[in-house]
Amino acid sequence: MGFLMLVYTFLIYQFLFMIWKWIDRKRDQECYVLDYECYKPSDDRMVDTEFSGEVIKRQKALGLIEYKFLLKAIVSSGIGEQTYAPRIMFEGREENPTLQDGILEMEEFFQDTIQKLLTRSGISAQEIDILVVNVSMQSVAPSLSAMIVNHYKMREDIKVFNLTSMGCSASLISVNIVESIFKSYKNKYALVVSSESLSPNWYSGNDRSMILSNCLFRSGGCAVLLTNNRALKNKSMLKLKCLVRTHHGSKDDSYNCCVQTEDSQGRQGIHLDKSLPKAATRALVDNLKVTAPKILPISELIRFMVVTLVRKLTTVSSTKGGSNSNSPRPLINFKTGVDHFCVHTGGKAVIDGLGMSLELSEYDLEPARMTLHRFGNTSASSLWYVLGYMEAKKRLKKGDRVLMISFGAGFKCNSCLWEVVRDLGDGPNVWKDSIDNYPPKTLANPFMEKYGWINDEDPSTFVLPK
């Protein structure tokens, strides 16, 4: 009898020990953001109304119809007068870029932002174990990631990933790569670098579906330092709770709605198709179907299922009775599991669409709107500027949950949920010099006031003033 008790005790101990080991191993697989740094170019690269007008006037392929289209697009874009452009624009060479222009643009960003991040965090470049770089529109040899390794003299055994052509959603793809590696290795540091190279990608034609990208994209970038070292948990800013990626590349209309191509004159640019809003909505819905059960409380999921079931029964009953049910479709309340929404600044229409889909208030959308106004669409790095706004406004408190949502060509929708580890808002921030001016009384830009006369011009007599 005593021997059996000893055996049972040993088996129970082994079972408990295995559970403890499993839990302990999971703790070493967590993904934390130690710090991040957004790029703020120098003031001599700031794009105001006057300079925008100069750039547009020197585009020889444009006519009055295109000027009117651009004016309407810029006025309704939600972009202000303090965004930034690459140096090539100020030199008037945007139509004839060189390979070196794109490389120098990235070098300036890398050397400024990564150095600031490493200095502030106290982590040396030689301590970085994983480097993930995403710059969609530039692929050079050696790669941009190799450029960083060379400049900062990183270790020979560093694991390096260089992503291109992944679009505005690439930042979360990079985080997902780091998260996956963290599951196999303990106590690692990872550096994620996100930006976009604008110098070699200016569209100089007159195709409306392609000139729109010239209005929205601006210079920017960010570097994010991550770790799975549990000893650094309390020093971290954010903890990753879940990350979901949705890819609709198998659907032809989704694949073709945002594509790099050439126009009829052979000029290269980004074609934005009219089907893009539909593709984005479909990708968002499919993404949130997977995300919602992971981040929302059971009570909200049950409420949604009950309301949906009641609506279906009501619809069936109304149909049998010969009448049509016009009751609105039930929406799931993401605010029951999310405190802050970090929305991609793809444009005013993107922000408005996400606000309607998720029933967000103006307070919820304010960080995205202000980021679009101040910095424009900085592609994959834009989410971190939005997060920076929340931090600068001291909105982020310990335990808060932040949902990031981004879109990208392909067509992709990626989302992730972060938990705030400690109160944030006292550290240096890209918004530091301008946060007191936000939100402004109005987001209207001066383009209509300065160039509205174009709408009254006659195409047969129009001559562009010098």
Distances in Å between the Cα of 119 and the Cα atoms of 113, 222, 389 are: 10, 15, 22
Closest CA to 68 of 459, 349, 465: 459
CB 221 within 8 A of CB 39: yes
Cis upstream peptide for 459 (omega within 30°): no
Catalytic residues: 168, 247, 340, 344, 373, 377
